[in-house]
Structure 1
Amino acid sequence: MRQTFLIVLAGLCAVNLSNLWGFAQALAAESPSALIVKFKASQGARGLDSKLYQTAKPLVKALNLYLVKVKPGSSFSTGDALTSLRHDPSVVFAQFDHKVKLRSFRDETTPNDPEFAKQWNLSSPQTHVDISATEAWKLGKGGKDAAGNDIVVAIVDGGMDVNHPDLVENLWVNAKEIPGNGIDDDGNGFIDDIHGWNSGTDTGTVPSTAHGTHVAGIAGARGNNGKGVVGVNWNVKIMAVAAPGEITSTVIKAYGYVLAQKKLWLETHGAKGANVVSTNSSFGMDDADCTKGEYPAWNDMYESMGKVGILAAAATANNNVNVDVTGDVPTGCASSYIVSVTNTNSKDEKYPQAGYGLKTIALGAPGTAIYSTIPGGFGTMTGTSMATPHLAGAIAFLHSVASADFQKVAQSDPARAALILKGILLRTVDKLPSLAGITISGGRLNLAKAGQAIAAYH
């Protein structure tokens, strides 16, 4: 019997967003005739039996990842195909193309007068339950690394409002691409990718969604511009990468875009591509054991991104469960380049409906009643989705205040630099009783302590 899994974008919405949460409502189930298959480099998809399979479509060519479908009307089921391909010597791995949905609740009220004072997550001088952002900003405001390179955070989500007045100044711009001419001007394999990519439509047009817009604002809403709110970084570049369609393959394909841009940036010494240092992954798959071989594409992708210096900030479940026991994707995947996050509240405690795991969840970050950007304005949301961009933003911020010695490592060995930075994040947390013994670090993100540590790295 076919199992059903959920990939969930974790967030609580403070307003009625039913028209914006379109793809959140579908029930999860595997796509009945689709598989994600990684072929060995020497073979590719050429050896597939044309009598049984449709022409395989590439998802991420650089990784030999393809979307494979059984021909309609065939007595050869998707399950049969999965078994067959897993025994095929030309195949590295094969898995179902799982359906996705948002993991969300809705709040009843939305503040309508945006002020920095509402961002308890960044500054709570009376209670000190925040990430010490104002102290961290004494070191810098984000934006560029020690070599003067723009720092980029990739927001992989259902979409985001690229015209939001508090985000537009911080959007990543592909300067080599001419918008709207239908030509791949920079030769990176993607047409009209001005601010990012839509893996569902294979275009540069990114839809506006509440969840992705809110997440983007937490990581990098423009600071000191007299508008609305401020992000963890005042000046970071935000790459908008849409993964719509409720399906694993669009997420993997979206990651493939991010990977391609970072590899191009490294290969051209910054002339093309983007210096992506973190991805925000405010989604996941409940009760899914990433170590049992059913979800190999996920770990493979995180490893591939990590090797070029990209850390993946990843949300854990919006349930009070021990994910060490229940399993979780992606936070239960083995890649060292994942920074898994749970949700803390304004009492500096783990939010009651947030996952945990001594072996699996790295640390906590504020994710309860977080005030940030939404399409057309500002609003409050709650969830591990909101905790995660604090980490994605923190990774970018640390690159901006890092020492010259760290920058040398980042240029010569980006994978090692990523792991050094992750280690600093975990060593500099504020220890919390509610996270002790149930997370790896036992604490909540402290941006200032982490910034001071990486600034002193030698």
Structure 2
Amino acid sequence: MAFKPLVVRLLSLYTILLSGSAFSQTQSAQWFHLDSKTDSVLGISTDRTYRELLSNRKPTPVVVAVIDGGIDSTHEDLKRILWTNPKEIPGNGIDDDKNGYVDDIHGWNFIGGKDGRNVQYETAEVTRQYVRLRPLYEGKKRSALKPAQQKEYDQFVKYKAEVEKKRAEYQEQYKSYSEFSSQLVTIIGGLKQALGVSKLDTATLRNPTTDNDFVKKAAAALYEMTASQGYSSADDIQNELERGLEDLKSKAEYAYNPDYDGRSIVGDNPNDLTETAYGNPDITGPDALHGTHVAGIIAADRTNNLGVQGVADQVKIMAIRAVPDGDERDKDVANAIRYAVNNGAQIINMSFGKDVSPQRKVVDDAMRYALSKGVLLIHAAGNDNKLLDTTASFPADRFMDGSAIPNLITVGAITAKNNENLVAPFSNYGRKTVDVFAPGMTIYSTTPKNGYDNLSGTSMAAPVVTGIAAVLKSYFPKLTYSDLKRIIEKSAIVQNRRVLRPESNELVEFTDLSKTGAIVNLYEAIKLAEAEEAAAAEKKG
């Protein structure tokens, strides 16, 4: 999920409040649609592509599955583009199409119970492994164990230490940022009162109508904070801070709490990997922020003149809820992939990941199944500013036997800054493991209850690529999963420049951070698809 980028932003905001920051120009609300030549921004050239290359082509609908934490099915910018199961009758309590899922009209929820309740918070996978081993090894001495048990005992000690460390860290962070939040709320409220306004937008903060020097200084500091982070108002900062605090609280109280059990709501046996018929048809769940944002990036309605526009214009989004606030379970991910494939998805967006995968084989098998059916998988690289070439992350970029996953694209994130700060500070990277980079910082998209907001993460970069894949498949329906992957990677624009390696002051070659050393571009992808289509026609004729 998009937790780490929020923490990065909180740290940045906290630093700015204390010490100030240099102003940086904010970008267009949906900067990722812009074009590098006409707009001087490394967007994917969406609008230019539709205007110059696709206006005379007829698209066909493409089904894209979004495996995530839930999608607001009533959103004004999404309701028209939701996939609808053609063989299922809504609300009759019958599995009309005999696919094993009752009333799955727009998708399925693998983290809900038959009684309608839903899992919101979950433990981290490392916590679950610690809980599994605790009854066996708590209070035991390694020297007293049999050699065969000592390896597992070592894992227990490692897991316990990590859980205790993480919980303490998040508790401390939550305490610190809660204090920061209180200060910020006080400052914002005081400035509103002093200036006689209900909203502190950048125009008001930049030129406050007051002669009070203290108010001017406070407004200037808040303006720098707001503008440098790409916000339009101080209220937006406050909203993101509230979301970040909620994330920190969930980590402190649930993710690393060995006494918390959120899974009981589902009513399945989490360790029975053969179970598939569990969950409920509620595709929204208690917190659909992340999934709604992802869906909007891919395919927010481009024709209704409301809110935002997605990358793809002929997509049906299949919503599959399998990712809670916490680590997703391998069983749920595997079932989600199979559900998507069996119900006609041609592309699957997977904006999630974790560090430990105890039941990895079941996910591997599901990804192989998707491969056998020609389905493309697009996965977020992760938000831990780590080198994936040497760090475990799941789903991995290779099968357990070490072979490459040919139908998988792994995506890192860039910012709107066309300079050394191009790579998002939170993004994972890897010359051997990350395929491409895409816009993923301050991405404006749909949020629940007909809302719109900026979020950041490789979780946002992956659906940009998913959108490109969907456009290619829609306008060139004969393209296979391997064609889509090859065209996206081959057409991506190589960046021969030095950039800051994520979360460091070290300048490195951008080409060393991924396999392609490139940023995806829809315009170049369509041009390549057209050229290959023309070459094939000439060869055939």
- Range into which the TM-score falls when normalised by the shorter chain: 0.5 to 0.7
Partner of 2:492: 429
* 2:526 equivalent among 436, 451, 457: 451
SS in 2 for 1:219: helix
Offset of 1:329 from its aligned partner?
1.2
**Conserved in 2, the CA contact under 8 Å of 1:11 and 1:211?**
no
Using a 3 Å threshold, how does the CA distance of structure 1 residues 351 and 397 change in structure 2: closer, same or farther? Answer: same
Q: C-alpha separation between the residues in 2 aligned to 1:311 and 1:142?
A: 26
SS in 2 for 1:329: coil
**Conserved in 2, the CA contact under 8 Å of 1:142 and 1:401?**
no
Q: 1:16-415, aligned counterparts within 5 Å? A: 117-124=28-35, 125-138=38-51, 139-140=53-54, 148=60, 150-201=61-112, 202-208=279-285, 209-244=288-323, 246-262=328-344, 276-286=345-355, 288=356, 295-333=360-398, 334-348=404-418, 349-376=422-449, 377-402=451-476, 407=478, 410=479
Structure 1 segments unaligned to the other structure (5+ residues): 1-8, 15-102, 109-115, 263-275, 411-416
Q: C-alpha separation between the residues in 1 aligned to 2:56 and 2:393?
A: 32
- Tell which deviates more after alignment, 422-431 or 235-244: 235-244
SS in 2 for 1:253: helix
User: Given the two structures, how large is their TM-score scaled by the length of structure 1?
Assistant: 0.66
Query: Deviations along 1:19-57, whole A, 9 cap, x unmatched?
Result: xxxxxxxxxxxxxxxxxxxxxxxxxxxxxxxxxxxxxxx
Using a 3 Å threshold, how does the CA distance of structure 1 residues 157 and 105 change in structure 2: closer, same or farther? Answer: farther
Structure 2 segments unaligned to the other structure (5+ residues): 14-26, 113-278, 399-403, 500-509, 537-541
Q: Which has more strand, going by share of residues?
A: 1
Q: Percent identity?
A: 35
Using a 3 Å threshold, how does the CA distance of structure 1 residues 224 and 117 change in structure 2: closer, same or farther? Answer: farther
SS in 2 for 1:456: helix
Offset of 1:12 from its aligned partner?
6.5
Q: C-alpha separation between the residues in 2 aligned to 1:142 and 1:207?
A: 37
Q: C-alpha separation between the residues in 1 aligned to 2:334 and 2:63?
A: 19
Q: AA paired with 1:258?
A: A
Offset of 1:177 from its aligned partner?
1.2
Q: AA paired with 2:283?
A: V
Offset of 1:392 from its aligned partner?
1.2
Q: C-alpha separation between the residues in 1 aligned to 2:58 and 2:282?
A: 26
Using a 3 Å threshold, how does the CA distance of structure 1 residues 142 and 227 change in structure 2: closer, same or farther? Answer: farther
**Conserved in 2, the CA contact under 8 Å of 1:194 and 1:204?**
yes
Using a 3 Å threshold, how does the CA distance of structure 1 residues 121 and 223 change in structure 2: closer, same or farther? Answer: same
SS in 1 for 2:2: strand
Offset of 1:379 from its aligned partner?
0.5
Offset of 1:300 from its aligned partner?
2.2
Q: AA paired with 1:397?
A: V
Q: C-alpha separation between the residues in 2 aligned to 1:254 and 1:445?
A: 27
Using a 3 Å threshold, how does the CA distance of structure 1 residues 391 and 159 change in structure 2: closer, same or farther? Answer: same
Q: AA paired with 1:127?
A: S
Offset of 1:420 from its aligned partner?
1.7
Q: AA paired with 2:342?
A: A
Q: C-alpha separation between the residues in 1 aligned to 2:371 and 2:364?
A: 10
Q: AA paired with 2:351?
A: S
Offset of 1:320 from its aligned partner?
2.0
SS in 1 for 2:409: strand
Q: C-alpha separation between the residues in 2 aligned to 1:344 and 1:143?
A: 30
Using a 3 Å threshold, how does the CA distance of structure 1 residues 13 and 213 change in structure 2: closer, same or farther? Answer: farther
Partner of 2:138: none
- Structure with higher Rg: it is 2
After TM superposition, the runs of 4+ consecutive aligned structure 1 residues lying more than 4 A away are: 11-14, 103-108, 141-145
Q: AA paired with 2:311?
A: V
Q: AA paired with 1:133?
A: T
Q: AA paired with 1:170?
A: I
**Conserved in 2, the CA contact under 8 Å of 1:182 and 1:192?**
yes
Q: C-alpha separation between the residues in 2 aligned to 1:157 and 1:136?
A: 28
Q: Which has more helix, going by share of residues?
A: 2
Offset of 1:249 from its aligned partner?
1.6
Offset of 1:105 from its aligned partner?
6.5
Using a 3 Å threshold, how does the CA distance of structure 1 residues 169 and 368 change in structure 2: closer, same or farther? Answer: same
Offset of 1:338 from its aligned partner?
0.9
SS in 2 for 1:156: strand
Partner of 1:97: none
Q: C-alpha separation between the residues in 1 aligned to 2:319 and 2:76?
A: 15
Offset of 1:135 from its aligned partner?
2.1
Partner of 2:157: none
Q: C-alpha separation between the residues in 2 aligned to 1:13 and 1:356?
A: 15
**Conserved in 1, the CA contact under 8 Å of 2:5 and 2:426?**
no
Q: AA paired with 1:436?
A: T
Offset of 1:200 from its aligned partner?
2.2
Q: C-alpha separation between the residues in 2 aligned to 1:422 and 1:170?
A: 24
Q: C-alpha separation between the residues in 2 aligned to 1:296 and 1:324?
A: 20
Offset of 1:308 from its aligned partner?
1.1
SS in 2 for 1:136: helix
User: Given the two structures, how large is their TM-score scaled by the length of structure 2?
Assistant: 0.56
Q: AA paired with 1:220?
A: A
Offset of 1:213 from its aligned partner?
0.4
SS in 2 for 1:285: coil
Q: C-alpha separation between the residues in 1 aligned to 2:429 and 2:296?
A: 25
Using a 3 Å threshold, how does the CA distance of structure 1 residues 244 and 128 change in structure 2: closer, same or farther? Answer: closer
Q: C-alpha separation between the residues in 1 aligned to 2:475 and 2:393?
A: 33
Offset of 1:254 from its aligned partner?
1.3
Using a 3 Å threshold, how does the CA distance of structure 1 residues 168 and 311 change in structure 2: closer, same or farther? Answer: same
Which structure carries more relative contact order (alpha carbon 8 Å, separation 6+)? Answer: 2
Q: C-alpha separation between the residues in 2 aligned to 1:230 and 1:203?
A: 30
